[in-house]
Amino acid sequence: MRVSTSYIYEFSSAAIQNAQQAEVALQQQISTGKRLNQPSDDPFGMYQSLTLTSLKNTLNQYSSNLTYAKQFLSESDNALSSINDMTGQAYQLAVQAANSTTDQNARMGMVNQVTQMQQQLLALANSQGANGEYLFAGQKTQAAPFSVVAGALTYAGDNNNVNVEVGPGQTMAVNTQAGTMFTNLYNQLQTFKNDLSSGNVSALSGVDITNLQNSQTAILQARGSIGGNLQEVTSLTNANALRTNDLTAQISNLTDANIAQVATQYQSAATVYQAAITMAAQASTLSLASYLQSSGTG
């Protein structure tokens, strides 16, 4: 093939250009640490990385929701624990009061204790969480659900669930439906008080003790349910953590540059560039003109 002068220069110029372009692309990867700097770097990889990132962020949200669920459940459990202790004490009192060796004066003394217990119950029944939300009000968490009307405890909350989203389309009811349980207990304490005042020993040893026992059972059941939910929360939280680690690794594989590999490639690109410019410099020194002696006459 006939070689023209400009062909020589264009050829080496193109070689230098190509070598430079390869170098620059690798430089970008090294300096950003990413192999995906724009969608065109790897369109399909980009799609996957976006999907996985979205999934990871959503898992983080569920974990955050689970933290709140645990908080709500624990706070509810604390209140129930105190009420349970109090109910236990009332039961002890009832047993003592029912005993024929106890005199009526002693029974009259117990009335005050029971009144205090009723007040304690009211306060605990209206327990609030960290946001000021009432724990035992169903969904009407904005107002105190329990109040005393004409000597009886009334419940103004509703019977709906407070739901927390713990997974995709998955919810957990974190509240305890305590309307009936607490109103019953309060009224049982009221009856107990009346029986103490009137010295009705048969009622004390029969109905009252049984009622208090039943209330305790109900409370323990509620606590058991909370315990189950708390276990579920722990298990879900752990699963999320594992999954999140997995996703982080997958995303990193897609988006992060393998620095060692890229550095090696960069070295060889730099070498190619070096060779291209050296060759260009040498080729340009050859010319017939430098060999022709100026021929004058003869």
Partner 1 sequence: MNSFTGITQASQALQAFQDALSTTGNNISNANTAGYSRETVTFGQNPETTIYSPNGPQYVGTGVNVASINRMRNMFLTAQSFSSASSIGQTNAQLAGGQQIQALFTDAGGTGISNDLTAFYNSWSSLASQPNNANLQAVQQAGSSLAGDVRNTYANLQQLSTQANGQIAQTMQQIQALGNQIAQLNSQIRTQSSGGGQPNGLLDQRDAAVQQLSSLVNVSTQTLADGTMSVNVNQFDLVDRTGAHTFPTTFNAATGTVTANGDTYNITGGQLAGNFATLNSITGAQGNLDLLANNLRTQVNSLMSTGKTVNGTTNQNFFNTSAGAIAFDLDPAVLADFKNIATGVSGNTGDTALALQIADTATQPVAALGNQTTGNFYNSMVTGVGQQVASATSTLSTQQAVATQIQNQIQSISGVSVDEEMSHMVQYQRSYQAAAETLNIVNSTLTDLMNILH
Residue from 31, 57, 282, 284 touching partner 1 (CB under 8 A): that is 57
Angle (CA) 203-121-71 rounded to 5° is 140
Q: Does 50 bind partner 1 (CB under 8 A)?
A: yes
At which residue do the structure tokens 């708390």 appear?
230
Residue 159 Cβ, how far from partner 1 at the closest point, in Å?
12
* Among 60-68, 92-100, 199-207, 224-232, the segment contacting partner 1 (CB under 8 A): 60-68
Stretch of residues binding partner 1 (CB under 8 A), selected from 133-141, 198-206, 215-223, 242-250: 133-141
Binding partner 1 (rule: CB under 8 A), the pick from 27, 28, 37, 250 is 37
Q: Does 10 bind partner 1 (CB under 8 A)?
A: yes
Minimum CB separation of residue 36 from partner 1 in Å reads: 6
Q: Name the CA dihedral angle for 222, 140, 182, 179, rounded to a multiple of 10 degrees.
A: -80
Distance CA 77, CA 142 (A): 20
Nearest to partner 1 of 285, 287 (CB atom): 287
Site string for partner 1, 145-184 (x = CB under 8 A): -------------x-x-xxxx--xx-x---x---------
> Residue 133 CB: number of other CB atoms within 10 A?
16
119-127, 224-232, 271-279, 283-291 -> range binding partner 1 (CB under 8 A): 283-291
Give me the residues paired with residue 164 across strands: 172
Contact range with partner 1 by CB under 8 A, out of 53-61, 119-127, 216-224, 274-282: 53-61
Rule CB under 8 A: choose which of 139, 234, 252, 264 binds partner 1. 139
**Looking at the chain, how many residues does it have?**
298
How far apart are CB 231 and partner 1 at their closest, in Å? 19
- Chain contacts with partner 1 (rule: CB under 8 A): 1-7, 10, 14, 34, 36-41, 43-44, 46-47, 50-51, 53-54, 57-58, 60-62, 64-65, 68-69, 131, 133, 137-142, 158, 160, 162-165, 168-169, 171, 175, 287-289, 292, 295
